[in-house]
Amino acid sequence: MIVSVGLFGALTGTAQAAATTVPLGTAGSFAVLAGSGITNTGPTTITGDIGTFPTTTVTGGAGITQTGTNHAGDAVTQGAKHDLLTAYGTAAGEGPPAAVTTDLGGQTLTAGVYKASSSMGLTGALTLDAAGNPDAVFVFQAGSTLTTASSSSVVLLNGAQACHVFWQVGSSATLGTTTHFRGNILADDSITLTTGATVEGRVLASNGAVTLDTNTITVPACTPPVSPLSNPTTPPTSGAGAGHSGAASAVGKSGHRQVPRFPVGAVDTGDGSTVGRTTCHLPPDGRTARADAAVVPIQSLR
């Protein structure tokens, strides 16, 4: 029975523990962050900051089209490296995780914490399903390497956002050619993006180098939840639909608009004009209402 329940959980892709977002601190503005240098080959586009420390070398920087700042090894980079170490430890400590197979290809997973005790791979497509929750968090813990095959992809479904996906890698990560990857890679050692790989997320290496080759890397922006619409039945307080007396109107059985009490001030006759000034009087016969000197048929108030 225990084995059957565990197998059912694995097949449905439900993690054993809810994941919480990993705070990146000042590393959050970086698309690429390295420990022992950044090397680029071919035209690469980066949206976000880059930096490397303690080795501050950036090779092939002329081929990088960047929206952001190259901090090289300055104080901003050093602070970001410190925050990256904290974030890495936070991601590694989340759980208890659900165990996953060494290849994530073909699976659909809901929000949670997932772990492979050694290497973690991706061949084909991995679908991350947020089930309509834009704040859903996915944390993947690879005991050693993370490797994707050529043309693999991470697909976001039902409100999942790349900013809430974290890949904690025990050693190095390698993305195969033309891989379309989503999420923030936090690697203890190095990260390599082969030809044509794209990342909607961050490439953050604590100690090793980051190697690029004709890639596109974009720091993702989180979309906040949509606020519920106001009650559409609430009567307007201004404009053409506003009541003249401050009291909400009602609809009678005949479909005509009713006035629950006589208004104070000018009365709308229905043809664009108004009569009366301050007081509306109802005679005993109930057939007409008089506002000062003007006589208004009751039907004009319906």
Give the model confidence (pLDDT) of 170-204 as tens digits: 999 999 999 999 999 999 999 999 999 999 999 99
- How far apart CA 128 and CA 194 sit, in angstroms, is 23
Q: Output the pTM of the full model.
A: 0.72
The Cα–Cα gap between 70 and 53 comes to: 12
Query: Contact, 270 vs 300, CB < 8 A?
Result: yes
Average pLDDT, the chain: 81
- The residue ranges of every structural domain in the chain are 12-218, 250-301
Q: What span, in angstroms and rounded, lies between the C-alpha atoms of 252 and 16? A: 57
Q: Does pLDDT of 283 surpass 70?
A: no
pLDDT of residue 244: 43
- Taking CB atoms within 8 Å and a gap of at least 24, the contacts of 67-73 are 68/29, 68/31, 68/219, 71/30
| Model confidence at 30: pLDDT above 90 | yes
Q: Are strands 257-258 and 250-251 parallel, antiparallel or unpaired?
A: antiparallel
Q: Residues 97-134: pLDDT tens digits?
A: 999 999 999 999 999 999 999 999 999 999 999 999 99
Closest among 152, 144, 208 to 179, alpha carbons compared = 152
The number of CA neighbours under 13 Å toward the Cβ of 155 is 16
- Look at residue 206 in the predicted model and tell me its pLDDT: 98
